[in-house]
Amino acid sequence: MDDRKAIIVGISGCSSSGKTTLARLLRDIFPNTFILHEDDFYKPEDQLPIRHGLVDWDCAEALSIPDMERALSHIRTTGTFPPTLLSKEDQNSVGASPITETHLQSAKTRVTNWLSPPNPGSLIFSSSSSSPPKICLLDGFLLYHPPTFRHIMSALDIKLFLRVSRSKATQRREARDGYVTLEGFWQDPPGYVDKIVWPNYAASHAWLFEGGDVERGVLDQSVLEREGILVAGMGREERQKIDPDFGETLDWAVGTVMAELERIVLGKKGEGA
């Protein structure tokens, strides 16, 4: 564990892929966990680029990457949320939970049992010889985009990626009321997903897909393995499930984080979910 005070878990994917929902659920399931939102590092609206006559919130130029890097450095060395950062993203609604209360309780029980002696989780979180690590969940639409985000990527101990089809992303995003911003409140203008959100996502993430074809949606396994990016819906028997059931995604994420924590803290070889 060297001298890190927190383990940083990146959760990335297209807008409306379920990142924030998953992060909030994982925060409820794992102890000593808090969320850092990439959206809290937006520049003022008047500094954002204009594309197709629209303000572009969904690109790297819209974010203060140095501020994000400083926040991650603070978290890594102190294990605490940056005291000067006021989160606006937590004021945004992500709608009703996509899983049942029974499913959530089952996930909590799974982690509770893992935390109980003599299971590995008890060694990670209950050791009397050292302070248990905090978990920071970094939720962001654009975390895996080298070279712009290379320093961000290198700060992540665990990299999770959620896929979503274009139709599902459009449906979910257009159902949202809007977003709290530094200036007040933002609502997507007509055509925003087709003109801004999806083209930006495809351009930024083409390097993860075979032949750069994001629409086809087949991820490049060699790239994922090289970068250590773990993807929901890519089990041994079901390699390319683009819109998995969210309950399946939650179960995958819980199992993957458990296995990766064992690998990082205990030196065990993680086997995922």
Whole-angstrom CA distances from 218 to 31, 78, 209, 214, 241 are: 35, 39, 6, 7, 9
**Omega into 120 within 30° of 0, i.e. cis?**
no
3 catalytic? Reply is no
Q: Are 227 and 204 in contact (CB under 8 A)?
A: no
Which DSSP helix (H) or strand (E) runs through 219?
Answer: none
- Asked if 140 and 37 count as a contact pair (C-beta separation under 8 A), the reply is yes
Query: Which is the catalytic residue, given 2, 39, 40, 58?
Result: 39
What span, in angstroms and rounded, lies between the C-alpha atoms of 95 and 79? 29
Q: Please spell the DSSP secondary structure of 81-128, one letter per residue.
A: --TT---SGGGS---S-SS-HHHHHHHHHHHHHHHSTTSHHHHHH--S
Residue with tokens 């949606």: 217
Provide the annotated active-site residues: 39
